[in-house]
Chains A and B, each alone.
Chain A
């Protein structure tokens, strides 16, 4: 049984609520795949203690961390540190990590690689998100602006669950991001939109380290 642990912290602000809405969508799809078991930590449960116990008990192949971050950590509910260099990053050894969290590709990702993480996919700078500012999940799911930003990031997870290797999953995500950006800049009505700059930022700062041939 291939196992996934998901920590998604729709804590207290709009961007993490959008992340949580998209995470729910992907988790629902993942649960439909035979042989895939998903364990979730949401809201208050997205804390360090519960994450450590869940990873130790379930030994997931894929760990998904969605929330705020820093160069050396990924944060959970109310900004509690979930994973941090030199604290508990060894929990990610032998696993694939997807962190949709600002900056953690800078220091945490290479640190994890040194201590045995198979692949770490994330962002080496701040993740930019533009939305229509919707506050309930149903409206968020039909937010076409948010989809331009979030769909490429979540494409990686679906690709991995479908059996793609990390490098192929990453390429699928980048292609979707490029297509979204191209569709904006080739449309005279949106070519000068500041959204283009934000999409470009995410596209160029998305990264992975580790063995590209790794599969979930």
Chain B
């Protein structure tokens, strides 16, 4: 079981809910999920949903520790 807290899950759900339902996310396996399907996967703790949470949390950690600012500096 992956170590994802309910707070992290809720945070990612909140971020997903603000985008257009027309947006689709594709994974390396070739699977494609609509916004609503991804919401379900994140809620359910499916592996694709958990991977999505981990990517979002990594981004938020990058904001917090300054790596994002460094990454987008041209």
Which residues of chain A have a CB within 8 Å of any CB of chain B?
11-16, 18, 68-69, 102-103, 126-133, 145, 175, 178-179, 181-182, 185, 192-198, 200-201, 203-204
Contacts and interface: CB of A to CB of B under 8 A. Distances in A.
Pick the most buried of A13, A127, A185, A194: most chain B CB atoms within 10 A of its CB.
A194
Contacts of A181: 71-72
B15 to A, nearest CB: 5
Contact of A200 (B27, B28, B30, B68): B68
Interface residues of B, number: 28
A201 B58 contact: yes
A13 B28 contact: no
B2 to A, nearest CB: 16
Given A181-B72, A198-B55, A129 B26 contact: yes
Contacts of A204: 71
Given A200-B59, A200-B62, A203-B71, A127 B19 contact: no
Nearest to B52: A194
A152 to B, nearest CB: 12
Given A133-B22, A200-B68, A193 B15 contact: yes
Contact of A197 (B24, B30, B31, B56): B56
Contact of A178 (B19, B24, B56, B72): B72
Interface in B15-50: 15-16, 18-19, 22-28, 30-32, 34
B28 A127 contact: yes
Contacts of B27: 126
Closest 9 CB pairs of A and B: A197-B59, A13-B30, A133-B24, A15-B26, A102-B28, A126-B28, A129-B26, A14-B32, A178-B72
Nearest to B42: A194
B49 to A, nearest CB: 12
A16 B68 contact: no
B65 to A, nearest CB: 13
Given A175-B74, A193-B15, A131 B24 contact: yes
A78 to B, nearest CB: 11
B71 A178 contact: yes
Contacts of A128: 25-26, 55
A201 B30 contact: no
